[in-house]
Amino acid sequence: MKNPWRFFLIVEALLLLYALWQVFNSPPLFMLLLFGILCLYFASRGKKQGRRTNFRLVVGCLAVFISLLNNPAVWLMLVFGVLFIGLKGVELTGIDPTKNAFWKKKQMVMVETEAPGLHPDKRQRQNLFGNERIGNQVFEWDDININMISGDTIIDLGNTILPKRDNIIMLRKGFGRTRILVPLGIGIALEHGGFIGNVTFVGEQTPLRSERITVYSEDYDTSERRIKILSSTLVGDIEVIRV
């Protein structure tokens, strides 16, 4: 499914229907939930009754809480939500939990290359909305040009080999966060303009307010492989991180 959040909402809605079905088919849970809801209702109606209202509120919350905890479908909703949001967060941050695993200590990654030739014509459709990650797997390098209205972008250059020349990444975005992971030994130049946002370049953060900034890494002039990042964002942060 192209939209993972739509898939998440559909699964959670189905689990919610399953939870309601279990409640209605279990008289003790249904009576406990109904009792808790009634207590909360009377507590909300009697705001000026002092301790009695607080007692009803506490009893109502406990009754609803216990009835939900005894419903297996509610636990399924929580487990699925935690797993989905956790995995989505790992994807957006670009962190690989297995990076230092023992089975990867002697791993060799081969990148297939071809002899230089004529540049073929290309036509590629771009998504204007949504998150995008480039470099999740090994890929052959080609200059990157991204145009988006809204969404987060992660570009990982650790899974490719840059040619010995000036390589270009061009980004034009309306709203969203951008993170670019650059391996050691590659010179970096960043030209970024933004209306509201922060620029984090190799550990140094600079806030922008309708400004444009141009920064270079210390090894830019001496590196054989260099990357030049040209970007503009209406609202959003951009991070260039050494890995």
Per-residue pLDDT 10s for the chain (243 aa) are 446 777 778 888 888 888 888 878 888 878 888 888 888 888 777 655 556 667 778 888 888 888 878 888 888 888 888 887 777 665 655 555 555 555 555 555 555 555 555 556 666 666 777 788 888 788 888 888 888 888 889 999 988 888 888 899 999 988 889 999 999 889 999 999 998 999 999 888 999 888 899 999 998 888 889 999 999 998 989 999 988
pLDDT at 114: 57
Instruction: Give bridge partners of residue 156 from the DSSP assignment.
Output: 181
| pTM for this predicted structure | 0.52
Rounded Cα distance, 190 and 198, in Å? 13
Bridge partners, residue 179, by sequence: 154, 239
How buried is residue 187: exposed, middle or buried, by Cβ count under 10 Å (0-12/13-18/19+)? Answer: buried
What is the predicted pLDDT for the residue at 17? 87
The reported pLDDT for the residue numbered 187 is 92
Distance, CA of 148 to CA of 169 (rounded, Å): 14
pLDDT of residue 90: 58
Q: Write down the pLDDT at residue 1.
A: 46
At residue 108, the pLDDT reads 58
**pLDDT at 198 (0 to 100):** 92
Q: What angle do CA 111, 117, 121 make, to 5 degrees?
A: 95
Q: How many whole angstroms separate alpha carbon 227 and alpha carbon 135? A: 15
70: left (phi over 0), alpha (psi -120 to 50) or beta: alpha
What are residue 188's DSSP bridge partners?
A: 227
